[in-house]
Amino acid sequence: MSAHRTADGRWYVKYYLPGQRTRPRKKYFGRGPEAKLSAEQWDLERKKAKRRGWSPPDPDQAAGLTFLALAQHYLNSRPLSLKNGKSIEYFLNAHVVPAFGRKPVTALTMQDLDALDSRLQEQGRSMATRNRYRDYCKGICSWGVRHDRLKFNPFEKYRSEKKREAKAAPPPSEDELRAIWARAAPHLKVALWAIAHLGLRPGPTELFAVRIADVDFDQCGVWVQRSKTHGQRVLQPVLPSFLEGVKSLQAAHTGRTWLIEYRGQPVQQIRRAWAHAKKAAGITRKLPLYSLRHLYATSMLRAGADLKAVSELMGHSSPRMTLEVYYHLLDEQKRQALEKLPQPLALEK
């Protein structure tokens, strides 16, 4: 047993249950100096207990297995890809822990899952995202039942919603974009500029995960890992002007690691900065940050770009998905198509 730190800065203690030396367990304490101290103290107490001849109990059983502890067992037991694992960990830390992560699983009910869904709705999460997150919760509990860590799944009755979502909201106009840009914080400006050039999903698994080292100056592109395609690493083509912008960032901040940074650290979300800039610009309509990704797609489609090429740049599974999401915004293209329709018949005046 000893205290260790993960690559993302979390402190944990690796330990074995009495009579079990084949698979170590892990207890996590969070990040920072206080977490390190707590981990070391917890480890020291267990070692003292063992020297006295007392076998420390499984902490999960001693305090009641929490959902967060169950989720950690689930993650440790499955061969998840790095990106998928980080995606689930982000979901747990950002959404589940504040909602019910530290509650014993036996005390959870469907009301807890409904409360989580309400929290996600308030944050503007899409139905697809909300369904995926609730599926995570149900799946983790199902795993616990199969591996004899739980007697029942508190979320067994949950079923994904099938209601069709509204189409993508209209992207910002040029005037709206200029107004937001003029009031944006420096790190938000870099994010908006990056979305306009890359079209990546603004989140920790795609846009915020891009490092300066991922920029390929020789092939004029950026190596990215798509969150919707099992973490597949692909080269995203960019314009030469984007590469010049990256060089400017490097010149202004020597030793910069991440494409988008805040006070020298990678960002996990910029919703607050976006909301503040939007409010300062006097924009009251619904205009999520994701709409800049819509602008990236519709701008190319309006200019007559090849549908399949745009679909691949967007990281969509097929051109059909691109059509379903964006084509309702292309009114001018529909009118142009109508003008090409022959009119062999006409009523007499």
pLDDT tens digits for 93-107?
Answer: 888 888 888 889 988
Give the per-residue pLDDT at 167: 58
Q: 126 or 19: whose pLDDT is higher? A: 126
> What sections of 57-214 are H helices per DSSP?
59-63, 67-77, 82-91, 110-122, 127-146, 174-183, 186-198
State how far the Cα of 76 lies from the Cα of 51, in Å rounded to an integer.
28
Higher model confidence: residue 2 or residue 78?
2
What local confidence, expressed as pLDDT, does residue 97 receive? 83
Q: Report d(CA 86, CA 92) in Å as an integer.
A: 10
**What is the reported pTM?**
0.55
Helix residue ranges, H only, the chain? 33-51, 59-63, 67-77, 82-91, 110-122, 127-146, 174-183, 186-198, 240-252, 271-280, 291-302, 307-314, 319-326, 331-339
The torsion of the CA quartet 305, 308, 312, 316, rounded to 10 degrees, works out to 120
- Which band of pLDDT confidence, cut at 50, 70 and 90, is reported for residue 301? confident
Higher pLDDT, 80 or 209: 209
Q: Report residue 247's pLDDT band, with 50, 70 and 90 as the boundaries.
A: very high
Residue 73 identity (one-letter amino acid): H
The amino acid sitting at 121 is: Q
Tell me if 233 sits within 8 A of 225, measured CB to CB: yes
CA distance 190 to 273: 12
pLDDT tens for 50-76 read 776 555 555 555 457 889 888 888 887
Q: Which residues contact 99 (CB under 8 A, 6 or more apart)?
A: 112, 115, 116, 119
Residue 62: per-residue pLDDT: 44
> For residue 139, what pLDDT band results from cuts at 50, 70 and 90?
very high
Lowest mean per-residue pLDDT among 7-11, 112-116, 196-200, 243-247: 7-11
Mean pLDDT, the chain, rounded, equals: 82
Mean pLDDT score, 159-175: 73
Distance, CA of 223 to CA of 208 (rounded, Å): 13
Residue holding tokens 């005037």?
Answer: 175
d(CA 153, CA 250): 50
DSSP state of 155: T
**CA-based nearest residue to 43, from 12, 66, 5:** 12
Q: Is the pLDDT of residue 294 over 90?
A: no
By the 8 A CB rule, do 82 and 209 touch?
no
For residue 322, what are the CA distances in angstroms to 123, 161, 231? 24, 22, 20
Q: Which residue has the higher pLDDT, 331 or 119?
A: 119
Lowest mean pLDDT among 225-229, 287-291, 306-310, 317-321: 225-229
Q: CA angle at residue 175 from 169 to 178, to 5 degrees?
A: 105
Dihedral angle at the C-alpha atoms of 80, 8, 227, 218, nearest 10 degrees? -120
Per-state percent for the chain, helix, strand, coil, to nearest 5 = 50, 10, 35
pLDDT at 223 over 80: yes
